[in-house]
Structure 1
Amino acid sequence: MSVISPARPTNHTADYNQLGPTHQAHFDSFMEHADNAANTTEYNSAMAAAALAAGIPLPASGEIAKCACPFCGCGAIFDTAIPGLLTVEDSDGYNLPRLQCPDCADAHPAPAED
């Protein structure tokens, strides 16, 4: 009798702090390109490259973010469409969403902006 184990969901998150310096530099560069993209094609390409640099597949939403928690050094990189995210107030001029990951949002939520 053969036993087939059920498929396990793949982990579509990464930890920025666990990436090597080269991968961090590439991730940062691609996220900056996405932030300054002139059109959808450039944005999508930069997001795909950032996900690749982080070592995760680009989620179906087509968008990832790095946790912007102002309270800890969380380096979570995640799909921006997952539940439990909080928007973080930030005056650094970012066009990309500045989000707290679900763990940080539960542990120490930042004020949300609408």
Structure 2
Amino acid sequence: MAVMTHAPARLEANYRNLSTDDQDRFDQLMERADHAGPHDYQPLMDALAVLTGISGEIRKCACSCTCPVIFDADNQDAHVIEYGDGYNLGRHQCPWCADQHRETA
């Protein structure tokens, strides 16, 4: 009897590595999640997890450098650019962008 182990969830994915169809699906799922009610939100995040291999609060980096990283917004090193007032999803920078573009004051 073979024992199957689950691969660990990925921490990041590259939006540009998704097929055009999967990019469209990702965008549509994110748009729906942004406006979803409490019963619909988690199934949409689950569908995004299947599509990207990432679990959690999935976001695409909203950095002005047009970073293609898809990541879990709950990552302690991610940075909130804008809270999603009136929506489910805010704008977040991935951990790399948050580190690289940190303002030096």
TM-score, normalized by length of structure 1?
0.72
CA contact (8 A) 1:86 1:109 kept: no
Identity %: 42
State the match for 1:45 in structure 2. 43
Residue 24 of structure 1 and its aligned partner are, at CA, apart by: 0.4
CA contact (8 A) 1:24 1:53 kept: no
SS in 1 for 2:89: coil
Once residues 95 and 109 of structure 1 are traced to their aligned partners in structure 2, the CA distance between those partners, rounded to angstroms, is: 25
- What is the number of residues matched between the two proteins? 96
SS in 2 for 1:74: coil
TM-score, normalized by length of structure 2?
0.77
Once residues 62 and 27 of structure 2 are traced to their aligned partners in structure 1, the CA distance between those partners, rounded to angstroms, is: 13
Residue 57 of structure 1 and its aligned partner are, at CA, apart by: 4.0
1:44-72 Cα distance to aligned partner (Å, 9 max, x none): 01111122222x1423xxx11110001x1
Task: Note if 1:65 corresponds to 2:62.
Answer: no
Amino acid at match of 1:66: K
Residue 89 of structure 1 and its aligned partner are, at CA, apart by: 3.9
Greater per-residue strand proportion: 2
Residue 84 of structure 1 and its aligned partner are, at CA, apart by: 1.2
Task: Note if 1:96 corresponds to 2:89.
Answer: yes
Amino acid at match of 2:78: L
CA contact (8 A) 1:51 1:58 kept: yes
Residue 41 of structure 1 and its aligned partner are, at CA, apart by: 1.9
Tell me the C-alpha RMSD between the 2 structures.
2.4
Once residues 45 and 10 of structure 1 are traced to their aligned partners in structure 2, the CA distance between those partners, rounded to angstroms, is: 17
Q: 1:82 aligns with which of 40, 64, 75?
A: 75
CA radius of gyration, larger in: 1
- Hey, which bits of structure 1, 4+ residues long, moved more than 2 A? 8-12
CA contact (8 A) 1:69 1:104 kept: yes
